[in-house]
Structure 1
Amino acid sequence: MVNSLQSLRTGSMPDEQQRISEVLEAGVEKPQVLFWQYDRAAIIMGCSQRPDEGQICRSESAGLAIIRRRSGGGAVLAGPWMLSVTVFIPPDHPVAKQNIIEIFSWLEQIWIDSLRACGVPCRGVDQAMIDNSKTISQQQDLKWACYASLSHGEVVSEDGRKLVGLAQIRKRKGVALVSGLHLYPSDWSLLSSVVVDNALQGNILEQLNSDAQSLSGTAAETLLPDLINAFAERIPEDFVRTKL
């Protein structure tokens, strides 16, 4: 087993997004995995979400950067409590040729096996769970938040609270599967305060989500290297861990 922390990059969310863009623009020649932990809190919004003046002012007051990513989905508050894992796949790789449900299911199983190996109880989602989560998101006016609903390939606690969120960036020169695992709880009220100016919606988001530390009873700093190793051991042999 290699030193997993040597494979972990630590930096800002804008730096991570820039690195993902650079890899895709240069072209993915071989499968690669980028493990990233954020060194500061920031809000990232989906490509269809454009920060308005109020959101920008509130994020500045909170001392948070607010940026847009190249993939879809809703707003996310990322910080040291989140492990981001991006899997880069060449366009001609068999995995890349799968449809979106198949490719997400492929990654979902890797996450489930990795988390369970580290003592984090979890499960995948089915269509009924996805449909129900979207209904709740609509009823609670939470469609703006990435972690308010479920999608194919995502991972939840055994009682259905979201644990790993997924997104896909598909370009001519490669595919990036981006996933975010909450190592320990996020500040959901801070996210909702900035994005929709309503801290109370954070209470609902908190109920809909979970984290690896709470589920396993193991401290996040202890889980982190074990999770990286477990994930790397379960991806196909032609994938490599890299500092990118």
Structure 2
Amino acid sequence: MVSSLQSLVSGSMPDEQQRISEILEAGVEKPQVLFWQYDRAAVIMGCSQRPDEGQMRRSEAAGFAMIRRRSGGGAVLAGPWMLSVTVFIPPEHPVAKQNIIEIFSWLEQIWIAALRACNVPCKGVDQAMIDRSKTISQEQNLKWACYASLSHGEVVSEDGRKLVGLAQIRKRKGVALVSGLHLSPCDWQQLSSVVVDKPEQGSALEALNSDAQSLSGISAEVLLPDLIQAFTDRIPDDFCQATR
């Protein structure tokens, strides 16, 4: 079984992305979980998003690194307010053989159980919620932002605001399921300013999202070790801590 808070790594987003790449390139021989909390803010773009000069300039002016990840999706502003959990699965493992909806639903149930155990009210999403979120994202010109719409397996507050986002990296030597939980509020205005130079879009993103601290009334610092332990307790016994 995964160990507890000792497994948490505090580091930069580029370092986390490098570690994920190293594990996948070396080959996932056994199921692993990597808990990561960012020690500084950075903007991460999806693999299909190519940062232009304006975005790079605004990101540098704001003091953020800007990188592209290997998975799809939109832009994310990550920092100490976010807990990243990456689940690595060997290609021959039964979970890895599931289709994308099944594998995300598997992880969704672990997240929901862990969050509820820590008094964070939440629920999963259905197709109607996904379709509605994509319509809203399109109408409000927010398709560039990862947390502007919902996908299968993601977790939301009871009133439908996004709490946990998911992405998948599937390689020949293994699968990585990457999830990001907002422990405390994100500065959506800063993300909008950097990516699209429209800080006013931050208000729309803020309305579509929530965080564990706000939903539970418990500070992120207190929640963090409990959430890691709760997630650890609910992951299958054959998963272990990913080495640093």
Shorter-chain TM range is: over 0.9
Deviations 1:201-223 (A, max 9, x none): 00000000000000000000000
Distance in 2 (alpha carbons) for counterparts of 1:94 and 1:25: 20
SS of aligned partner of 1:96: coil
Task: Quote the residue 1:44 is aligned against.
Answer: 44
Aligned residues: 244
Q: Is the contact made by 2:134 and 2:149 (CA closer than 8 Å) also made in structure 1?
A: yes
* Separation (CA, whole Å) in 2 of partners of 1:2 and 1:240: 5
Asked if 2 retains the 8 angstrom alpha-carbon contact of 1:77 and 1:191, the reply is yes
1:102 & 1:112 partners in 2: Cα distance? 15
Q: Which residue of 2 aligns with 1:28?
A: 28
Measure the CA separation in 2 of the matches of 1:241 and 1:70. 22
Note the 1:49-68 alignment, pairs <5 A.
49-68=49-68
Q: Aligned residue for 1:184?
A: 184
What is the rounded CA distance, in whole Å, between the counterparts of 2:231 and 2:91 in structure 1? 22
Give the drift of 1:5: 2.4
Tell me the alpha carbon deviations over residues 127-163 of structure 1, each in whole angstroms, 9 at most, x when there is no partner: 0000000000000000000000000000000000000
Paired residues of 1:115 and 1:122 also in contact (CA < 8 A)? yes
Residue 172 of structure 1: how far off its partner (Å): 0.1
- Mapped contact 2:3–2:232 kept (Cα < 8 A): no
Aligned counterparts of 1:160 and 1:2: Cα–Cα separation in 2? 30
Q: 8 Å contact 1:111–1:231 — kept in the other structure?
A: yes
Correspondence 1:143-182 to 2 at 5 A:
143-182=143-182
Q: After the TM superposition, which residues 1-244 of structure 1 pair with which residues of structure 2 at under 5 Å, given as runs? A: 4-244=4-244
Q: Measure how far apart 1:242 and its partner are.
A: 3.2
Post-superposition CA distance 1:40-97 (Å, at most 9, x none)? 0000000000000100000011010000000000000000000000000000000000
Do 2:2 and 2:33's aligned partners in 1 also have CA atoms closer than 8 Å? no
Q: CA deviation at 1:3?
A: 6.9
Change (3 A) 1:222 1:19: same
Q: Is the 8 A contact 1:161 1:209 kept in 2?
A: yes
- RMSD after superposition: 1.1
TM-aligned CA deviation for residue 105 of structure 1:
0.1
Report the residue type matching 2:229 in the other structure: N
The answer as to whether partners of 2:2 and 2:237 remain within 8 angstroms in 1 is no
Q: Distance in 1 between matches of 2:72 and 2:175?
A: 14
SS in 1 for 2:119: coil
In the alignment, the residues of structure 2 paired with residue 212 and residue 113 of structure 1 have an alpha-carbon distance, to the nearest angstrom, of 14
How far did residue 4 of structure 1 move?
A: 2.6
* TM-score normalised by the chain length of structure 1: 0.99
Distance 1:243 1:188 in 2: 32
List alignment gaps of at least 5 residues for structure 1: none
